[in-house]
Homo-oligomer: A and B are copies of this chain.
């Protein structure tokens, strides 16, 4: 509570830091993590060309407010108009802009119960009303999402495909088919952050400027540039143009623009990383099975693992792993919170994980009973 003259909306918002980073936990533990497998970062890192491009950037210059070169390159990459692409400060930043453009006090949105919390953070921040539908067997329930959207006259419906935190994915064709039931006035916010980690056919097979959907992609995951904060939205030209109404025009770091450009250009590196992610995913899977757990099929750079007990048990497993120096996270909402979530790591990271997992499971088992 403050005596400053905040808007009534701002006055009512919590001023806690809603998203606890691994560094915060390291400071609390007074010890660094031995393996950082909790934030779905890409330990295999960006293309060396991206690293060089960033290091070579003249940082005394402001970044190009139009992100022209990057938007041109993305335009070539996808074979779409640059006017169909908006670049922003990560998908988090772009979600904030979309919500600000569309959601005012009392406006409704729909998402899955336990889906990406940053979307909800932005909606609450602009006074919107969030309706949630449950997951169905650890998948986001497209039909239920769209039905609820109709019911509450939602302006936005959020769908991550592949999903975070569960790692599951729908076929793009199935989403397309379900879209016949997307209400006319509802915009589908399709978060495809993990699309480069997913099998072919996961991407929505619709024109990028289909006015029913806005797609969000990022350089934070498969491209290995989480620290750079470069995301992009693709959609109808007039929708994309509306970002210019509200965005922080000089908000894009100059080196980040150059790094993303170089990363996009190095598709060979991307393929190498995709193979490493797949290998890491398999090893985490095997490890989980070996210890009697049930890993979920993942279309991302992480594996969500059903610990086959309740939320208390999963939390104990997570806590024990963190105590043992391995940073992981877990879904926050029932029934998904019977799981833990482990990001792909280097072979060395997974050696550590292999040592720690049985220790954590034994300790959790003991204190849970």
Q: Interface residues, chain A, CB within 8 Å of chain B? A: 1-10, 13-21, 23-24, 27, 36, 39, 41-46, 50-51, 54-55, 57-66, 68, 89-90, 92-93, 96, 100-104, 107, 125, 155, 185, 187, 211, 220, 224-229, 236, 238-239, 241-246, 248-256, 259
Give the one of A44, A90, A246 with max B CB within 10 A: A246
Known A-B contacts A16-B244, A227-B62; the reply to A102 vs B6 at CB < 8 A is: yes
A343 CB, min distance to chain B CBs, angstroms = 11
Q: Report B-chain residues with C-beta under 8 Å of the C-beta of A225.
A: 59-60
**How many copies of this chain sit in the oligomeric assembly?**
2
How many angstroms from the CA of A45 to the CA of B58 in the assembled complex? 8
How many angstroms from the CA of A239 to the CA of B10 in the assembled complex? 12
Contact B59 A187 (CB under 8 A): no
Q: Report B-chain residues with C-beta under 8 Å of the C-beta of A2.
A: 238-239, 241-242
The one of B60, B90, B187, B250 in contact with A5, judged by C-beta atoms closer than 8 angstroms, is: B187
A84 CB, min distance to chain B CBs, angstroms = 14
A109 CB, min distance to chain B CBs, angstroms = 11
> 28 A–B contact pairs at CB < 8 A?
A2-B241, A5-B155, A5-B187, A6-B101, A7-B103, A7-B104, A8-B104, A9-B104, A10-B102, A10-B242, A10-B245, A14-B244, A15-B241, A15-B244, A16-B244, A17-B244, A17-B249, A27-B68, A36-B61, A42-B60, A45-B59, A45-B60, A59-B227, A60-B226, A60-B227, A90-B251, A125-B245, A253-B255
How many angstroms from the CA of A211 to the CA of B18 in the assembled complex? 25
How many angstroms from the CA of A126 to the CA of B289 in the assembled complex? 52
Contact A227 B58 (CB under 8 A): yes
Q: Report B-chain residues with C-beta under 8 Å of the C-beta of A259.
A: 59
A130 CB, min distance to chain B CBs, angstroms = 17
Chain A contact residues: over half helix, strand or loop, or mixed? loop
How many angstroms from the CA of A236 to the CA of B3 in the assembled complex? 11
Known A-B contacts A2-B242, A9-B104; the reply to A41 vs B21 at CB < 8 A is: no
Contact A90 B19 (CB under 8 A): no
Contact A102 B7 (CB under 8 A): yes
Q: Report B-chain residues with C-beta under 8 Å of the C-beta of A10.
A: 100-102, 242, 245-246
The one of B24, B93, B229, B248 in contact with A68, judged by C-beta atoms closer than 8 angstroms, is: B24
Known A-B contacts A54-B59, A102-B10; the reply to A19 vs B249 at CB < 8 A is: yes
Q: Report B-chain residues with C-beta under 8 Å of the C-beta of A45.
A: 58-60
Q: Report B-chain residues with C-beta under 8 Å of the C-beta of A245.
A: 10, 13-15, 125
Q: Report B-chain residues with C-beta under 8 Å of the C-beta of A59.
A: 45-46, 50-51, 54, 224-228, 259
Q: Report B-chain residues with C-beta under 8 Å of the C-beta of A255.
A: 54, 227-228, 253, 255
Contact A248 B23 (CB under 8 A): no
Contact B62 A39 (CB under 8 A): yes
Contact B246 A229 (CB under 8 A): no
Contact A253 B241 (CB under 8 A): no
Known A-B contacts A7-B101, A7-B104, A155-B5; the reply to A229 vs B253 at CB < 8 A is: yes
